[in-house]
Chain A
Amino acid sequence: MKPRIRILLADDHAIVRMGLKTVFELEADLQVVAEAATADETVAAHGACKPDITLLDLRMPGSGLEALRRIRAQSPRARILVLTTSELEEDIHRALSDGASGYALKSIPPEELAGAIRAVHAGGRWVPADIARKLADRASAPDLSPREREVLDLVIKGLTNPEIATALGISFGTAKAHIRAILAKLQVSDRTEAAAEACRRGLVE
């Protein structure tokens, strides 16, 4: 009998872990060997039981992406399948560029999820078609500079231009220029839309 695929379930929702465990128990080749509810727990569990696959939720205390990076830093060959509710381009982009082998949404039918686990375990990448399309869109859109991200963050917090200038220690004119650049890159016409678009794309927490 072929060895079962050993899985680390990393999700801060116990009921979700419970559900996933239940469905994986119905699959003969899948075995949940460890569970984690926070980033720290995930990294520790990965180090302890060296799972074949880590099913990782991005949204958890300590940040799933953080856990992803730390695991990949410790074990560059670790195979991680992101399983999350986030359809934000930014999350997908980050997760895949930080070394995730696949990106599945929690809305995926359990049988399909099992297939994804097997595909990733087999060494492939698994990304659903609509997410792959989003990634292509994302690649064509210009990135916001780190400074523009900071400015955008403050815009979303509701600061006015002078307040932003003061907060970042830049001139009023510079702050305005950053905001113009942000509006252009996000292809929106005002700050409210910018905030909405930034949330949609997952550019901010």
Chain B
Amino acid sequence: MPVLRHPVSLCVALFAGAAPLAAADVLETVAAARNLPFSSAAAGQEAKLSGVVTYLRDIPQDFNFYLHDATGGVMVYPVDRTPLQPGRRVTVTGVTAMSVHGLRVTGASVDPGETGTLPEPLKTTMSDVLAGKHEGLFAEMEGVIRVVRLESPEIQPQRLALDFGSRNRRLTVWITRYAGAESRFSPGAKVRARGVVVRWKNPRGQTQSTSVLVNSVDDIVDVAPPGVPLQQSLSDLQLWSGPDEPAGRVAMSGVVTYCRPGDLLVVQDGERAIRVRPAGAEKAAVGDTVEVKGFPVLGEYTVELEDASVDNTGCGITLPPGVFRDAASVLAGPGLVDRDARLVRVTAMLRELRERADSQALEMNSGGITFTAFLPSGAALPDGLAAGAELRLTGICSLHLSDERRRLGRPPGQFSLLVSGPGQVEISRPAPWWNRSRLLAAVAIIGLAALLAALWATLAGRKNALLRAEISRRERAEQQLANDRRRVAGDLHDTLEQTLLAAGLQLNAAGRTLTAQPEAAAARVTLASQLVARGRQEVRDAVWDLHAGAVRSHSLAGLLATACTEAAASSTAEVFLFTEGNEPPLPALIVAQSVRFVREAVTNALKHGSPQHVRVTMNAAPEFLTLTVADDGCGFQIANAPGPDTGHFGLGSMRERVQRLGGSLDITSMPGTGTTITARIPIPS
């Protein structure tokens, strides 16, 4: 009824346009509070509610109750403990809040009223309750008990819990007072329960679980006893037609092929196997024969049994595992559905081993299919279990159906393997010596070695090159020294030796004519002494030439400049040097002889011509070196030039010197016009 359901809106409508009254904001019915938007309710709205207490939670660490009025029920958290009983009328004043229990009225002052009886519960079904209806209401519903258990001992006094519905649609009935009645209930029994519907929420108000809070065991009424569960063969059981069919309790027996304590058992019976989710910590080990009573439910792909009780009946033997040469063949061919939960043996290569919190995961690959084999954490794995090893694994085949394949109606395209322990892991071929990290390491080592080798080779090469350079430098130096020696030796042969020979011949002749021709003898002695003087000059030249590097390390132009400066020093005349052309590299012999030629020519000019200027020109054309010494002195008649027989050796020796270099000497002179001497020396290519 709109008016009742929306009292706040009604008030707002009634007083629209007028000043809002504070009293109009106070919520007066449960429905009004429940109709608040989440944020308004969470922000806190004043509420003053009257109704009957339907459920009371009165333990040392907690005190609250549910209030029920004509419009609904809500949880109340009073400020103070007030002695109350279910059925008591109360009026509470507080503010709304959102909590783990959903809407509540908190900070409430409680005004107890008369004691009465509980209201008639709302008749409903578990399906409706699970669908989200009747929150906070006092309701009554029927259901088949799946599990009977006690609340976790952390909260005292413990409550008795009865679980109804499959695990994914679970409804739990919490019984506050049950003293001595634990054994009254057993799985499979049908009961009618009466209590307050509660939903635990997350902070955003979304339901996490649904419960019914029951004050006393007296509020549970037996409807039907558990009866004998339907004993079924596994093949029949596996044909269970799904969640639409009421899930009656069934029984089956078989041999345990896998056990994850408190969580999962796999039981095999002949060619078939099934996953069993035990209700509690069931005692069973691989190889035990067990009788299982549980509720069928459709698992990921095939039927499982949940909320199962497991009775150990002895030891048994299972069929050997189905053997598959690779992972692809596990998923191939008909009979795939029967392979789910079956023990299989498959050969595959280990790609990676990962430690997880609750297991050890072996990432495997074979036949182009990747799968994971899970081993219990802490299980000692066989030695040599390394990536690249080929393993033969025995375990429970768990088929996985992807959402995509589920939509398209395709069979599972993936599986994982649940391996009980290391005994089911067999290394059929050890990991090759190379794996990725070792290969990388090997490559790195080889690379490093190559790098070092290259470095060493480079260093050695550099050292070698240095040594070679040093050797060739020394060889060159030795060669130059030998060249110098040869040049000087040749020079001494051509000059000093001849000069001394000539002097000797003159002295010999003088000696033989001393008495017969004394004047001629005296002239010969004079000539000899002049020759000796010349010899001394030649020795000086040779010594100059021997000075290491004098010829080699200077340009001809530089040496000529020095020679000119030295010659001019002892004279009043000026000596100029002109160089034309770029001086090519010249053989040391040419350099040495050129310097001597110029020195002798300049000396002669200064000595005999009395010039004011001497001009030395050096022209280094590519093929010829032309040296000209010109003076503005007195000049002479070439035909009458004094010769060696009068002690004038200069012209002759200059000419000989130039001729020995393959060149020619040209003298131009006239009395009064000065003298020009030109030497033209070929430069060997």
A residues neighboring B (CB under 8 Å) = 12-16, 18-20, 22-23, 25-26, 37-38, 59, 61, 85, 106-107, 109-110, 156-158, 160, 192, 195-196, 199
B482 and A26 within 8 A (CB) = no
With A15-B499, A15-B531, A18-B644 known as contacts, the answer to whether A26 contacts B504 (CB < 8 A) is no
Question: What's the minimum C-beta distance from B528 to chain A, rounded to whole angstroms?
Answer: 9
With A12-B659, A13-B656, A59-B493 known as contacts, the answer to whether A195 contacts B482 (CB < 8 A) is yes
Give the CA-CA distance A20 to B644 in the complex, in Å.
13
Closest B residue to A157 by beta carbon equals B479
Q: Quick one: which of A106, A156, A157 contacts B501, CB cutoff 8 A?
A: A106
The 4 closest A-B pairs by CB, nearest first: A19-B505, A158-B479, A15-B502, A19-B502
With A14-B644, A26-B513 known as contacts, the answer to whether A38 contacts B659 (CB < 8 A) is yes
Q: Which residues of A contact B503 (CB under 8 A)?
A: 19
Question: What's the minimum C-beta distance from B486 to chain A, rounded to whole angstroms?
Answer: 6
Give the CA-CA distance A26 to B514 in the complex, in Å.
12
Q: Which residues of B contact A22 (CB under 8 A)?
A: 505-506, 509, 524
B504 and A12 within 8 A (CB) = no
Q: Which residues of B contact A107 (CB under 8 A)?
A: 501
Q: Quick one: which of B472, B482, B502 contacts A160, CB cutoff 8 A?
A: B472
Give the CA-CA distance A12 to B662 in the complex, in Å.
13
B125 within 8 A of A: no
A14 and B659 within 8 A (CB) = no
Q: Quick one: which of B502, B508, B660 contacts A16, CB cutoff 8 A?
A: B502
A14 and B643 within 8 A (CB) = yes
Q: Which residues of B contact A38 (CB under 8 A)?
A: 659
Known: A15-B531, A37-B656, A110-B505. 9 other contacts (CB 8 A): A13-B656, A14-B643, A18-B644, A20-B505, A26-B512, A61-B660, A110-B509, A158-B475, A192-B482
B358 within 8 A of A: no
Chain B residues touching A, majority SS: helix
Closest A residue to B468 by beta carbon equals A160
CB within 8 Å of A: which of B644-658? 644-645, 649, 652, 656
B502 and A18 within 8 A (CB) = yes
A12 and B660 within 8 A (CB) = yes
Q: Quick one: which of A15, A37, A61, A109 contacts B498, CB cutoff 8 A?
A: A15
Q: Which residues of B contact A158 (CB under 8 A)?
A: 475-476, 479
B residues neighboring A (CB under 8 Å) = 472, 475-476, 478-479, 482, 486, 493-494, 497-499, 501-506, 508-509, 512-513, 524, 531, 643-645, 649, 652, 656, 659-660, 662
Q: Which residues of A contact B493 (CB under 8 A)?
A: 59, 85
B652 and A15 within 8 A (CB) = yes
Q: Quick one: which of B478, B502, B662 contacts A13, CB cutoff 8 A?
A: B502
Q: Which residues of A contact B662 (CB under 8 A)?
A: 61
Q: Quick one: which of B504, B508, B656 contacts A14, CB cutoff 8 A?
A: B656
A199 and B486 within 8 A (CB) = yes
B659 and A19 within 8 A (CB) = no
B476 and A19 within 8 A (CB) = no
Give the CA-CA distance A23 to B501 in the complex, in Å.
12
Give the CA-CA distance A107 to B475 in the complex, in Å.
36
Give the CA-CA distance A15 to B501 in the complex, in Å.
9
Can you report 27 residue pairs joining A to B where beta carbons are below 8 Å apart?
A: A12-B656, A13-B502, A13-B656, A14-B643, A14-B652, A15-B498, A15-B531, A15-B644, A15-B649, A15-B652, A16-B501, A16-B505, A19-B505, A22-B509, A22-B524, A25-B509, A26-B512, A37-B656, A37-B659, A61-B659, A61-B660, A109-B508, A110-B509, A158-B479, A160-B475, A195-B482, A196-B482
Question: What's the minimum C-beta distance from A190 to chain B, rounded to whole angstroms?
Answer: 11
Give the CA-CA distance A166 to B356 in the complex, in Å.
75
Question: What's the minimum C-beta distance from B509 to chain A, rounded to whole angstroms?
Answer: 4
Q: Which residues of B contact A18 (CB under 8 A)?
A: 502, 644-645
Q: Which residues of A contact B513 (CB under 8 A)?
A: 26
B498 and A16 within 8 A (CB) = yes
Q: Quick one: which of A14, A19, A192 contacts B478, CB cutoff 8 A?
A: A192
Give the CA-CA distance A25 to B472 in the complex, in Å.
56
Q: Which residues of A contact B501 (CB under 8 A)?
A: 16, 19, 85, 106-107
Closest B residue to A20 by beta carbon equals B505
Give the CA-CA distance A158 to B486 in the complex, in Å.
14
Give the CA-CA distance A164 to B640 in the complex, in Å.
53
Give the CA-CA distance A23 to B527 in the complex, in Å.
14
Question: What's the minimum C-beta distance from B407 to chain A, rounded to whole angstroms?
Answer: 80
Question: What's the minimum C-beta distance from B482 to chain A, rounded to whole angstroms?
Answer: 6
Question: What's the minimum C-beta distance from B357 to chain A, rounded to whole angstroms?
Answer: 74
Question: What's the minimum C-beta distance from B67 to chain A, rounded to whole angstroms?
Answer: 113
Q: Which residues of A contact B660 (CB under 8 A)?
A: 12, 61
Give the CA-CA distance A18 to B530 in the complex, in Å.
14
Closest A residue to B499 by beta carbon equals A15
Closest B residue to A38 by beta carbon equals B659
Give the CA-CA distance A13 to B505 in the complex, in Å.
13
Give the CA-CA distance A14 to B646 in the complex, in Å.
12
Q: Which residues of B contact A25 (CB under 8 A)?
A: 509
Q: Quick one: which of B509, B531, B656 contacts A23, CB cutoff 8 A?
A: B509
Q: Which residues of B contact A157 (CB under 8 A)?
A: 479
Q: Which residues of A contact B498 (CB under 8 A)?
A: 13, 15-16, 85
Question: What's the minimum C-beta distance from B399 to chain A, rounded to whole angstroms?
Answer: 77
Q: Which residues of B contact A110 (CB under 8 A)?
A: 505, 508-509
Q: Which residues of B contact A15 (CB under 8 A)?
A: 498-499, 502, 531, 644, 649, 652
* Residue among A14, A20, A158, A196 having the largest count of chain B Cβ atoms under 10 Å: A14
Give the CA-CA distance A160 to B471 in the complex, in Å.
11
Question: What's the minimum C-beta distance from A5 to chain B, rounded to whole angstroms?
Answer: 18
